[in-house]
Structure formats: structure tokens, C-alpha cells
Amino acid sequence: MTEANNELAAIFRTMADLLGRQGANAHRIRAYRRAADSLARLGEPVQDMAARGTLEEISGIGKELAAKIREFLSTGQVQSYEALKTPLPKDVANWATLPGLSPAIVQDLYYRLGVQTLPDLETLVRTHLLQTLPGITASDDEMLAAIRERLDREER
């Protein structure tokens, strides 16, 4: 096994652990663990499989994880892993106390979607796009009321 195989397996295991601590989707966590195990057992360098375009033939590696592997092979890092390792600003992390939001969803909003302020979040909720994300458990009205209350408190 190569150094890249070992590094990627370690990254995917750590991502699974970090996602688990955030209460992320259990299927997503298992996917990272399965991918890590497959990479650790892979009998050839992952670079060779990437060069042949056969990453998705590795057990547990789908399109999304194959893209992360290619990203690592070309840049030396996986951006979503770097985002998971970086703590959220405290005021953003507190969004997890809003109805319907979990730490994993807040992390996704901040790092993947670029929602960085409470007014940004309010705008997203008003467009009804937040309801398209998996794991949202509150209605737009509940969320807007909680956001408005928090914004009013901050203005005082």
C-alpha cells in the first residue's frame, strides 16, 4: 500500500469521527468508514486507479468520494476535511440551537454554502431553499421567528 492510500484512509476515518461528533447522517459516516477500510486494504496505489479512471470500482467509493480522492491526489488535501477540522466561529456555532438545525447542518451551511451571518441565514430560509437540505426538521416559520428573535436581541 502507498503513502497516499494510508493518508486518504486516515482522512476519511477522521472525517467519519468528526461527522459523528456533529450528529451527521449515519449513512454518510458509514460511507467514510467503508471508504477508509477499502483504501487501507487496497492492493495497489490509489494513484494508479485514479490514472486509469477506476476509482469508483473500489468498494465503497462513489462519485463524491472519488472526487475527494482526485482532489487529494492533485492538491494534497481535501477541502471538506479542512473545513471539518476548522472550528466554526462561536456565533455561527450557536445557530445549532435554532429550531431544525444541528451542528452538522450549520457546518454545511457555513463551509459549503457560504452562509456566514444570521441575516444570510434568514435570507436562505425566506427563499425556502433551506428546506431542500436533508435533516432540516423545523418549518420556515419556526426558523424565521427564532432568527428574528435572535437578531432583535443582538440589536439591543
Say whether both 31 and 58 belong to one domain: yes
Tell me how far CA of residue 23 lies from CA of 29, 57, 107, 120, 134, in angstroms. 9, 29, 11, 23, 13
Q: Label residue 19 left, alpha or beta by phi (over 0 means left) and psi (-120 to 50 means alpha).
A: alpha
96 and 81, same structural domain? no
Residues 77 and 106 in one domain: no
Kindly state the average pLDDT of the residues 110-126: 90
Last residue of a domain, one of 33, 57, 85: 85
pTM for the full predicted model: 0.67
- CATH number for 80: 1.10.150.110
User: Same domain for 12 and 65?
Assistant: yes
Res 13 pLDDT > 90: yes
Number of structural domains the chain divides into? 2
- Cβ atoms of 72 and 3 within 8 Å: the answer is no
Identify whether residues 70 and 7 lie together within a single domain: yes
Task: Please write the tens of the pLDDT for every residue from 33-91.
Answer: 999 999 999 999 999 999 999 999 999 999 999 999 999 999 999 988 988 887 889 89
**Which of 85, 101, 134 finishes a domain?**
85
Q: Are 77 and 97 in the same domain?
A: no
Statement to judge: residues 41 and 104 lie in one domain: no
pLDDT interval class at 11 (50, 70, 90): very high
Enclosing domain of residue 79? 3-85
pLDDT at 1: 54
Q: In this predicted structure, what is the pLDDT of residue 156?
A: 76
